[in-house]
Structure 1
């Protein structure tokens, strides 16, 4: 057993190593070099019988694994909508780790319970969602979508007098699920896990920008779940909520919004892109994307608070809690206080700071699109948000430029397929990304295109 002094010394060393890593963020390659990746093999050792001293464990972790990390916490990572962690959120994460709270209810952690309640209220205020909605802080947008769709199914069946908790699904009235043709894979995953069956989903056709076409919306009724999205993963577009949600409401359907990153546009000057999104029944969004918090912090938001609380309830004889305790709003019974870094991020930014950060990313995306068009690239989307969808003169050149940019170590972004052909998607969401970083990216891509020209 370590003494108090030894434990303090170990934590101090961990802090120093973390600070050293932090100091190198600006100069670290956007993706680790091959030799660093190869070096990870040194971690693949037989299981130790006696274990290693904690200081040796920490040393190996830092010296072997740190060089092989992806610089998603840096300014030139454009691969996915992944924000760097804001200083206040990173600091809060460190303090919360020292607290080591089981943040399932007030009894386990009054501090976590109070902070997550405030964070939930702030989130609904920033996003313009109903203030009495339940907000569960889950592990991911996938897990939160699972929670919301579980609540939706249970509520629709209850309207027909079916006791889902007692009788399950055998013999239950059928629920129809309508999804966008461009629905994110995590929504489909949640539906598959819930047993809806991918082949039984009803697909709503989309337009050239990936938005559900209101003229081709499938028939809805009071046993339907309609899944829409705020921020299509390639184009950043929004389904036309003002047209679609009232029609779904008139039919008695439940509307769920996948807003993993796009829902944060509601806190910016581009809020009109998501007009009337507040009319839906449930929403999911992520903190680690545009709010720039650590991973493992997403939100399940449900207009009918009782519907989510009933679906996720996990009270036991030895562990009862209020209906809106976090263990009764999320999948997890024992859980970390993942809402606290979200509280810290919002507390440090305020409404104005969040709007300014998102607006800066919108402006940077527009500038990047202009630079790339001028450099001879095809920009395939309207660039209404933070996504720039790009293609070169042909498929081979598109792939070659992406690979060359990745090998450069200066930036990183990944591939995508749009309308059946290769493209690449540039996502801007890090608070660290400056205008100079955007110009560096544009200059690199344009120079690579010029070099690859026949």
Structure 2
């Protein structure tokens, strides 16, 4: 079989899967143990014909594939894949470029530079900010916080890249009590450790208390980074970012924004007021797959202080082919072997345009609002919070019933939602972030939730 025929076979398998999404069960039919029994056979001694490998892979894996690209998958904050982004991702694998150096892959470097500027534009971030495309929001935090670490220590004369952290003045990182766990892990990776964290009080929905932040800032003049959150993973709550930037900068602190999904509100004229002031921060991290709907993986980090960003990441080697005036991707990321992940992001933005992106954000947010308003009318169900594209619910009968309910919903297969814990109670998270999701999908999912409640 020729390569062209094999790729056509793969395309046919992919199209069959996508065409079946409207009626496909969202939850996988087989759990991990069953999949390992099916797929975990001994490696054969002899080669296998590629067409058979592909056909067997599809047939054997299909029962264990959760339909995360379904319009009714509301677990985690995953999103789907826009058609243009999917097709471009296939080309990305076909071209198989290492997006490390501009001279070795000029088209990819140009696409990355253009796409990065588009991101800054639609997210209303400073046009002069530096940026990096990384694997996801986790590595976007690592990248941006490495720049923050460089910046706050450089202000007091310590070169952390040269001298390391042994003997360095201690850095304080102020966060809200409901920050995302990826912030903690980024600090661990960067050698700052979680003991540097000072968690301040939050309001009933999980947004940082500005007075508590001000009080903590006054307690010390240590080099300080403040991590704000635009979109609590449970409630969607938004930290008071304008006030945070004002008081933090008055105390010479660096403000980093976790905008994994909430930062995309800036792309919508109808919702951008919710995060007004986010452009005044010092660094930002977001995920492209959560709202822009590009394939995994694609995170984006931006830093207002280009010198701090470059100082934390730049490397040189005699075997690198480099032209100094050109933007070198490796100067801004912690990765050397890099997938050209800006290509599907470029295709996604180009296919949507400003208007299409705004409409996508609006639809995701209004679908979440529809979930919240209609679920509030169901007996035995309580809507605890709703903001941006997040909705948090629980059964009024308590934690055990809530866990039973989410299990029933998942097993039914109509839709999929994540269990969680919020303020000591078991809850169910609904994250609306798939471009395919419509009001009909919301209504169909609400019917499934109502049926599950009845069965309980």
TM-score band (shorter)? Answer: over 0.9
How do 1:219-298 and structure 2 match up within 5 A? 219=217, 221=221, 223-268=223-268, 269-298=270-299
What is the rounded CA distance, in whole Å, between the counterparts of 2:263 and 2:305 in structure 1?
A: 19
Counterpart of 2:315? 314
CA deviations on 1:333-359 (whole Å, 9 max, x unpaired) are: 121110111111111111111111111
**Contact kept? 2:170, 2:222, Cα under 8 Å:** no
Task: Kindly indicate whether residue 397 of structure 2 is the aligned counterpart of residue 399 of structure 1.
Answer: no
Greater displacement, 30-39 / 352-361 = 30-39
- Could you tell me how far 1:227 is from its partner in structure 2? 0.6
Question: Which SS does the other structure have where 1:234 is aligned?
Answer: coil
The runs of 4+ residues in structure 1 deviating greater than 6 Å are: none
- Could you tell me how far 1:384 is from its partner in structure 2? 2.6
- Could you tell me how far 1:35 is from its partner in structure 2? 7.6
Structure 1 residues 35, 286: closer, same or farther in 2, change over 3 A?
closer
Alignment partner for residue 75 of structure 2, among 75, 79, 87? 79
Task: Kindly indicate whether residue 359 of structure 2 is the aligned counterpart of residue 361 of structure 1.
Answer: no
Greater displacement, 123-132 / 46-55 = 46-55
What is the rounded CA distance, in whole Å, between the counterparts of 2:145 and 2:32 in structure 1?
A: 42
Question: Which SS does the other structure have where 1:137 is aligned?
Answer: strand
What is the rounded CA distance, in whole Å, between the counterparts of 1:7 and 1:320 in structure 2?
A: 32
**Contact kept? 1:235, 1:388, Cα under 8 Å:** yes
Task: Kindly indicate whether residue 439 of structure 2 is the aligned counterpart of residue 443 of structure 1.
Answer: no
Task: Kindly indicate whether residue 432 of structure 2 is the aligned counterpart of residue 434 of structure 1.
Answer: no
Counterpart of 2:414? 410
Structure 1 residues 136, 43: closer, same or farther in 2, change over 3 A?
same
Give the alignment's TM-score, normalised by structure 2.
0.95
Alignment partner for residue 47 of structure 2, among 48, 51, 57? 51
- Could you tell me how far 1:34 is from its partner in structure 2? 2.9
How do 1:25-44 and structure 2 match up within 5 A? 25-34=21-30, 38-44=34-40
CA deviations on 1:149-173 (whole Å, 9 max, x unpaired) are: 1111112211212122221111111
Question: Which SS does the other structure have where 2:421 is aligned?
Answer: strand
Greater displacement, 24-33 / 430-439 = 24-33
**Contact kept? 1:86, 1:293, Cα under 8 Å:** yes
**Contact kept? 1:231, 1:238, Cα under 8 Å:** yes
**Contact kept? 1:282, 1:300, Cα under 8 Å:** yes
- Could you tell me how far 1:303 is from its partner in structure 2? 0.6
What is the rounded CA distance, in whole Å, between the counterparts of 1:444 and 1:438 in structure 2?
A: 10
Greater displacement, 210-219 / 443-452 = 443-452
What is the rounded CA distance, in whole Å, between the counterparts of 2:61 and 2:316 in structure 1?
A: 40
Alignment partner for residue 61 of structure 1, among 57, 62, 80? 57
Give the alignment's TM-score, normalised by structure 1.
0.95
Counterpart of 1:177? 173
What is the rounded CA distance, in whole Å, between the counterparts of 1:223 and 1:81 in structure 2?
A: 33
Q: What is the root-mean-square deviation of aligned Cα atoms in Å?
A: 1.6
- Could you tell me how far 1:37 is from its partner in structure 2? 6.8
Structure 1 residues 142, 255: closer, same or farther in 2, change over 3 A?
same
How do 1:90-129 and structure 2 match up within 5 A? 90-129=86-125
Question: Which SS does the other structure have where 2:225 is aligned?
Answer: strand
Counterpart of 1:299? 300
What is the rounded CA distance, in whole Å, between the counterparts of 1:199 and 1:170 in structure 2?
A: 15
CA deviations on 1:291-340 (whole Å, 9 max, x unpaired) are: 11101111010011221122111321111534742111111112111011
What is the rounded CA distance, in whole Å, between the counterparts of 1:443 and 1:355 in structure 2?
A: 28
Structure 1 residues 15, 354: closer, same or farther in 2, change over 3 A?
same
Between Structure 1 and Structure 2, how many residues are aligned?
447
**Contact kept? 1:32, 1:70, Cα under 8 Å:** yes
**Contact kept? 2:104, 2:321, Cα under 8 Å:** no
Task: Give unmatched runs, 5+ long, in structure 1.
Answer: none
Structure 1 residues 397, 103: closer, same or farther in 2, change over 3 A?
same
**Contact kept? 2:165, 2:191, Cα under 8 Å:** no
What is the rounded CA distance, in whole Å, between the counterparts of 1:408 and 1:358 in structure 2?
A: 28
CA deviations on 1:361-416 (whole Å, 9 max, x unpaired) are: 211111111111111221111x2311110011122221111111111011111100
Question: Which SS does the other structure have where 2:433 is aligned?
Answer: coil
What is the rounded CA distance, in whole Å, between the counterparts of 1:348 and 1:298 in structure 2?
A: 19
What is the rounded CA distance, in whole Å, between the counterparts of 1:357 and 1:12 in structure 2?
A: 30
What is the rounded CA distance, in whole Å, between the counterparts of 2:350 and 2:50 in structure 1?
A: 35
- Could you tell me how far 1:90 is from its partner in structure 2? 0.5
Task: Kindly indicate whether residue 383 of structure 2 is the aligned counterpart of residue 385 of structure 1.
Answer: no
Task: Kindly indicate whether residue 187 of structure 2 is the aligned counterpart of residue 191 of structure 1.
Answer: yes
- Could you tell me how far 1:61 is from its partner in structure 2? 1.2
